[in-house]
Structure 1
Amino acid sequence: MKILFLNAFYPPHIGGGAEVVLRQLAEGLQRRGCDVAVLATGPDAGLQQQVQQNVRVYRAGLHNLYWHYTQQRPGRLARMGWHLLDRYNQRMRRYVRAVLALERPDIVVSNNLTGWSISAWDEISAAGVPIVQVLHDLYLLCPKDTMFNHGKVCTQQCGQCRFMRIRHAGASAQVAAVIGVSRFVLERVASHGYFPHASRYVVHNRSEANAEQRAPAARPVNQPLRFGYIGTLSENKGVAWLIEQFQALAIDARLEIAGRGKLDYEARLKALADPGKVTFHGYRKADDFMREIDVLVVPSLWDEPFGLVAVEACANHVPVIATQRGGLPEIIQDNLNGLLCSPHEPHSLAIAMLWLYLDADLRERLGRQARASVEPLLDRERMLDEYQSILRKTLQGKSIRHEPEPADHCPTPSVASARDR
C-alpha cells in the first residue's frame, strides 16, 4: 500500500499533537512494509524533498501572506487576509499535483488542512485517489480551528465562520472515510453536514509516554506540592485562568508551566504570574516534565479535540485536573484518574486544586489508578492496526463520484532534494 500523508506541518515543525501522532503513523506504517510519503508546508519557497527515518518528506513553500509556523503574531489585517486566502488556496494545488505525480499513492490521508485548504481535496480527487480525512481540530468549521472567540466557546458558527466555510461541507462529499481523534470532534464536525458519503471512525491518538513504565518517584519531604501545565500558551488553553486560580489559593505549592505560545501572549502571562509561585520553563519533553510535578492541570476553555497531554500524565502515574470540554472526558474520569472541573464555574478549578492539595490519600489513589486507566491509549501498534484496517477497507470498498474544481494552469514545481537527517 502506497500512502501519502498530507498535513500543515511535519517534524521538526510541531504545532501540536497532530504532528506527534502523524510521525508515529508515518514511521510505524513504513516499518510495517507500507510505502509512505508525507507532504507538509515548509519555510522555503518551492518544493523540497528529504528523507527522515526512511519516510520521504516533501515540504512546500506556502503561497500565502506568511508561513503560519511562527511565534510572532501578525497584525489583525494580515491574519484576516491570510484566512481569506486559505478558504480555497488554488496555488497550493500545484504542489499536491506534483507530489501525486511523483509518488502515485494508492490513498491519501489528509490531516490538518491549514495552509493547504480544501483545494487539496479537489486535486487529489482529480487524480482519482481516495481520500481519508483525519479530524484533529475544528478547522472545517472555524478558520482559527478553535471555535473560541472573545474568551468564550462558540456554541454555533458565527457569520464570519459561515462565510469562510460556505463551500466546505459540500466539498467534503468527495471524502471516502473520515477519522475523528475523539468522538466529540467527529460528531461536532459531522453535525454541520460534512462527509455525507464517508465511512466514519473514531481512532484515539496514542502516546508512547513512559514506555519503560517507571514508577513515580517519591515526593520530596516538606516540599511544596507541584502543579503543572504543559502545552501551547494561548487564551483558549486556559493558562491565564489557571494562574489566577492558583495564585488565589493560600497553599504551600508551586505552579510549573512548560510550553510556548505567541510572544505577546507569553509576555502577558508572565506579567500576570507571581515569580515566587509560578515558573515558566519553555519547551520541555513530556516524560521529563511529568516526573517533576505531582498534579497536571489541563484547564482548556475551548472544546479540546482530544488532549494527549492528559494521556501522557496518566502514563506517568500523575493525576489530572481537566475541564469537561470536548474530548477530555474521553480520557479523564472523575475520581478515577483525576478530577473534572468546568469553566462555567470559575472557582471549580481552584476547588479541585485545593482538594488534591489537602487530600494526599486521594491524590495518591488517583495516581496509582491513572496508568491502568489509559493503557489502551499507550498501545501504538493498536493505533497502527486500526489505521491499516481503515485504509484497506477504504481501498477495497469505495468508489467516489465527484465534481472536482478544475486544476489551475500554473506550472508544476520542481523538487529540490535534501540530505537524510
Structure 2
Amino acid sequence: MKIAFVSGLYPPAIIGGAEIVLQTLAEGVRDRGHEVLVLTTKEGGDIERDRVNGVSVIRVPIKNIYWHGSKAPRKLWKKMIWHAMDSVNLRMSSIARDILKEERPDAMNVHVIEGWSAGVLAVGKSLGIPTVQVLHSANFMCPNSNMCRNERNCETQCISCKVLRVAHRSISNNADAVVGVSQFVLDRHLSAGFFARAKRRVAIHNVRNLNFADIGPLPKDASAERKFVFGFIGGISPVKGVGVLIDEFQSLGETNAELWIAGRGQPQYEAELKSRCSTSRIRFLGYQKQADFFPHVDALIVPSLCQDTLPTVIPEAFGFGLPVIGARRGGIPEMIKDGCNGRLFEPENQGELRTIMTRFLQGEEDLDGMRCAVKESASDYSNIGGWVDKYVRLNADLIASRGE
C-alpha cells in the first residue's frame, strides 16, 4: 500500500503539533512496510525531493504572497490576502494533480490544508484516489483555526470566516473519510454540514513519541516546607487563559503555593500579565523544556478559553505523573476524567478554578489516587503502534471498498 500524506508543513518546518504528529504517523506507517510519500510546501525555488528519516518528501514552492512556514511577522492586510488566495488555490491544486498522477498512491491523507488549500481534496476525488481528511483544528471553518475572537468562542462562523471559507463545505464532500483528532473537532464539523458524504467518520486521539514508562515522575522534595506548585506551560496568549489563571491564583490569598508559568508570548502581553501580578509567588520562567519543568510541578493547569482541539501538553503531563486541572473546552474533557486523573472547570465561572486549587492545597483531593490514575491515562497516549494501526486499517478499508 502506498499512501501520500499531504500537509502544508513538514519537519524540519514546524509551527505546531500537527507537523510532529504527521511525522510520527508517516514514519510509523513506513515501519509497517508500506510505501510513504509526503507532499508539503516550501519557500520559493523549485520543487525539491528530500528524505527525512527515511521518508520520501516532495517540497513544492508555495504559490502565494509568502510562505506560511516563515516566522516573520505579517501585516493584517497581507494575512487577509494570503488566506483569500489560499481558500481555493488552483495553482497548488494543479501541481498536486501532476505529482499524484506521477506517483499513483493507493490512498491520500490530507492533514493541514493551509498552503495547499482545500482544493487538494477535489484533486484526489478526480483522480479516483481514496482520500482521508484529518482534522487537527477548525481550519476548514476558520482561517485562524480556533473559532475564537476577542477571547470569546464563536458558536458559528463570523462573516469573515464565511467569506474565506465559502467553498470549504462543498469541497469537503470530496473526502471519502474524515478523522478528528478529538471527538469535539469531528462533531463540530459534522454538525455544521461538513464532510456530509464521507463514508467513514472517526475520532482518533493523537499520541506522542515519548516513553512514558521510562520517564515517570522524578522524586520531589519531601520537606514539610516545600511549596505546592501549580504549573502552566505553553504559548502565552489571551486565548490560552493565562490571565484567568493569574487572577484565580491571586484570589487564593496567602497560601503555601506557587504558580510557575513557562512559555513565551508577545512581549507586550507578557508585560501586561506581569504587571497584574501582586505576589512574588507567581514566577514567569520563559521557555522551558518539559523535562526541566514537569518534575518540579505538583499539578498542571490548562485554562484555555478557546476550544482547544486536543492539547498535547495534557498527555505529556500525564507522562510525568501529574494530575491536570483543565478547562471544559474543546477536546480537553476527553482526556481528563473529572475527579480521577484531574479536575475540570468552567473558565467563565469566576472562582471555580480557585475552589479546585484550594481543594488541592487543603488535601481534599486524593492526589495519590490521581497520580495512579494518571499512569493509566498516560499509557493511552503512548501506544504509537496501536495508533498507527488505526490509520493503516482505515486506509486499507477505503482502498478495498473503492468503487462501492
**TM norm structure 1:** 0.87
After TM superposition, the structure 1 = structure 2 runs for residues 340-419 of structure 1, keeping only pairs within 5 Å, are 340-359=344-363, 362-399=366-403
Distance (whole Å) between structure 2 residues aligned to residue 92 and residue 265 of structure 1: 36
After superposition, the Cα gap between the structure-2 partners of 1:345 and 1:376, relative to the gap in structure 1 and judged at 3 Å, is same
* Superposition deviation, residue 26 in structure 1: 0.6
1:207 maps to which residue?
A: 208
Runs of 5+ consecutive residues of structure 1 not aligned to the other structure: 401-421
1:31 lines up with 2:31 in the alignment: yes
Render the CA deviation track for 1:71-129: whole Å, top value 9, x for unaligned: 55422222222222221122222442343244321111001112221121223333332
Contact 1:210–1:316 (Cα < 8 Å) also in 2: no
Larger deviation, residues 193-202 vs 65-74: 65-74
Given candidates 249, 259, 265, the residue that maps to 2:263 is 259
After TM superposition, the structure 1 = structure 2 runs for residues 44-63 of structure 1, keeping only pairs within 5 Å, are 44-63=44-63
After TM superposition, the structure 1 = structure 2 runs for residues 199-278 of structure 1, keeping only pairs within 5 Å, are 199-220=200-221, 221=223, 222-250=225-253, 251-262=255-266, 265-266=269-270, 268-269=272-273, 272=276, 276-278=280-282
Contact 1:133–1:177 (Cα < 8 Å) also in 2: yes
* Superposition deviation, residue 210 in structure 1: 4.0
**What's the secondary structure of 1:179's corresponding residue?**
strand
Distance (whole Å) between structure 1 residues aligned to residue 8 and residue 271 of structure 2: 27
Render the CA deviation track for 1:360-388: whole Å, top value 9, x for unaligned: 76333312221113422221111011111
Contact 1:176–1:398 (Cα < 8 Å) also in 2: no
* RMSD of Structure 2 on Structure 1 (CA): 2.4
2:290 maps to amino acid: A
Render the CA deviation track for 1:209-232: whole Å, top value 9, x for unaligned: 343344422322223222222223
After superposition, the Cα gap between the structure-2 partners of 1:244 and 1:135, relative to the gap in structure 1 and judged at 3 Å, is same
Contact 1:143–1:164 (Cα < 8 Å) also in 2: yes
2:174 maps to which residue?
A: 174
1:381 maps to amino acid: G
Given candidates 320, 328, 336, the residue that maps to 2:340 is 336
After superposition, the Cα gap between the structure-2 partners of 1:235 and 1:382, relative to the gap in structure 1 and judged at 3 Å, is same
Identity of aligned residues (%): 35
Runs of 5+ consecutive residues of structure 2 not aligned to the other structure: none
* Superposition deviation, residue 306 in structure 1: 1.5
Larger deviation, residues 31-40 vs 216-225: 216-225
Distance (whole Å) between structure 2 residues aligned to residue 95 and residue 76 of structure 1: 28
2:310 maps to which residue?
A: 306
After superposition, the Cα gap between the structure-2 partners of 1:349 and 1:45, relative to the gap in structure 1 and judged at 3 Å, is farther
**TM norm structure 2:** 0.91
1:315 maps to which residue?
A: 319
**What's the secondary structure of 2:87's corresponding residue?**
coil
1:125 maps to which residue?
A: 125
After TM superposition, the structure 1 = structure 2 runs for residues 147-186 of structure 1, keeping only pairs within 5 Å, are 147-186=147-186
Q: Which of structures 1 and 2 has the larger relative contact order (alpha carbons within 8 angstroms, sep 6+)?
A: 1
After TM superposition, the structure 1 = structure 2 runs for residues 10-21 of structure 1, keeping only pairs within 5 Å, are 10-21=10-21
Contact 1:324–1:342 (Cα < 8 Å) also in 2: yes
